[in-house]
């Protein structure tokens, strides 16, 4: 069965806006959760629900009629200021959103959940070299602080669930169109920057693809 209706979280952010454009171009119907609905451009195939991504009642409304969830949530200001992003992550926005979301996915019979994460997220199957492993597991957590902890705690929730999840592990975002192919790997770091255009296509490709189910995919462009 081909999925046609998506629930989106983080749709007003840098990556989320690109996901919306790409999804509409592909003919999807979208249900978008936004604290400020006016930030979402009106479209016949878009339904906007006002609310917070950590609020169960808002999420419950969002999921009605949806067949899969795509989340590009992250700490506020991550693309402008690391200091601001670290401060935002103290409230564990990704962990708390996923914690509220997972029980509702079962309630609404939704199996597919695709989300973005950071390159510092470490998975058991990773096969990075000594130096890269040191950077990702020792240096990055110190630099990222609560951003790292938020993603690690979120991953633990995913591991414990029976949802068909995929995490796109990304570094810095480049909003310029890219002619380069997207590099992906479920085991090895691919680079520190990724095009939002290529990333959005990857996220949407996963909606009806099970290649990376239960995996954290490193990606770069």
The pLDDT of residue 72: 97
pTM: predicted TM-score of the whole model, two decimal places: 0.94
Q: Which of 215, 111, 218 is nearest to 159 (CA)?
A: 215
Please state, as a whole number, how many other Cβ atoms lie within 10 Å of the Cβ of residue 110: 19
Burial of 131 (0-12, 13-18, 19+ CB in 10 A): exposed
Q: Name the maximum alpha-carbon separation found in the chain.
A: 51
The pLDDT of residue 74: 86
The pLDDT of residue 165: 98
Would you state the structure tokens that stand for residue 7, as one six-digit string? 């629930």
Which CATH code is given to the segment(s) 5-220? 3.40.50.720
**Cβ-proximal residues to 108 (8 Å cutoff; 6+ apart), any chain:** 63, 64, 66
Helix, strand, or coil (residue 137): helix
The pLDDT of residue 108: 97
Task: Give the start-to-end residue ranges of the domains of the chain.
Answer: 5-220
For the chain of 221 residues, list the mean pLDDT of each consecutive stretch of 10. Answer: 90 96 97 96 97 97 98 78 76 95 97 95 92 88 88 96 97 87 95 94 96 96 91
Annotate 12-78 with three-state secondary structure. CCHHHHHHHHHHHHCCCEEEEEECCHHHCCCCCCEEEEECCCCCHHHHHHHHCCCCEEEECCCCCCC
């Amino acid at each position: 069965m081909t999925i046609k209706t998506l629930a989106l979280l983080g749709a007003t952010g840098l990556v989320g806006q690109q996901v919306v454009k790409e999804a509409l171009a592909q003919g999807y119907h979208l249900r978008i959760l936004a604290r400020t609905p006016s930030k979402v451009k009106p479209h016949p195939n878009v339904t906007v629900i006002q609310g917070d991504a950590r609020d169960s009642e808002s999420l419950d409304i969002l999921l009605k009629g949806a067949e899969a969830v795509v989340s590009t949530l992250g700490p506020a200001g991550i693309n402008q200021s690391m200091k601001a992003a670290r401060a935002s992550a103290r409230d564990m926005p990704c962990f708390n959103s996923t914690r509220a979301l997972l029980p509702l996915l079962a309630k609404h019979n939704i199996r597919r959940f695709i989300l973005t994460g950071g390159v510092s997220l470490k998975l058991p199957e990773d096969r990075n070299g000594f130096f890269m492993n040191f950077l990702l597991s020792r240096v990055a957590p110190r630099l990222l602080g609560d951003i790292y902890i938020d993603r690690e705690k979120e991953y633990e929730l995913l591991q414990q669930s029976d949802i068909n999840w995929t995490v796109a592990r990304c570094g810095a975002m480049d909003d310029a169109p890219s002619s380069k192919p997207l590099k992906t790997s479920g085991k090895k770091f691919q680079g520190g920057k990724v095009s939002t255009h290529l990333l959005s296509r990857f996220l949407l490709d996963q909606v009806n693809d099970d290649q990376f189910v239960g995996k954290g995919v490193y990606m770069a462009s």
